[in-house]
Structure 1
Amino acid sequence: MDERKRDSIVAYLRRRMAELGIEPSDVAASLAADQEKMRAARYRDASGNTWDGKGDTPQWVLQATSAGQSLEHFAISGTPEPKSGKHASVDWGNDPFAGSRLATNKMERLGAA
């Protein structure tokens, strides 16, 4: 995103916050509460629904376990590892298409030929 777009969005958000009476400390408190809730979660599904394992079982857990999925499938194991900007290295030596027309066309499209 270029700097002009960013500045425009920031100005819009500040204006809307002022109109609605929202202080930056309100936003910070809300974000902190959300992060605390996420740290307390023991189970999470692909949609981002979480459950701490206490209290009534939420509907998404009931549906998944009724369909045969185990609760352990949704267990959150520790803190997620931060993703680095680097891609994993690939061993192209075992490429089944190496030397074929598919590999050649792909290389031409990528501009590497």
Structure 2
Amino acid sequence: MLKTRLFCFGYESPSQFANNANQGWDDEDSAAVWIKDASDEAVLTWGRAIAESFVPFLFKRAEKDAYSWANENFAYWIETDPNILAHASELPVVTVGEMPDFTSLSSGG
């Protein structure tokens, strides 16, 4: 049976990436997407694939060269806090193998 889980991940937007490199800062952002699958491992694996594709989307939109999200060791997790889950109903929902609309995940990055 499929279960919907909230996959969350950190990343640097193009402006954060530049500012962090130039100023020595450690600023980052986060995004989340609901993923449907029977197992936590499948959700984590697909969520990492989403994050790895999301970063180049942001950088292409900003006409910048992207970094590899996977190589930067950003945090990622399946959210379990009921308060956070209750306020995440507007986020995209996908099944494993389906990419979300990245525009809906970005906050202007």
Larger radius of gyration: 1
Please report the TM-score for the alignment, with normalisation by the length of structure 2.
Answer: 0.22
Q: Which has the higher strand share?
A: 2
Please report the TM-score for the alignment, with normalisation by the length of structure 1.
Answer: 0.21
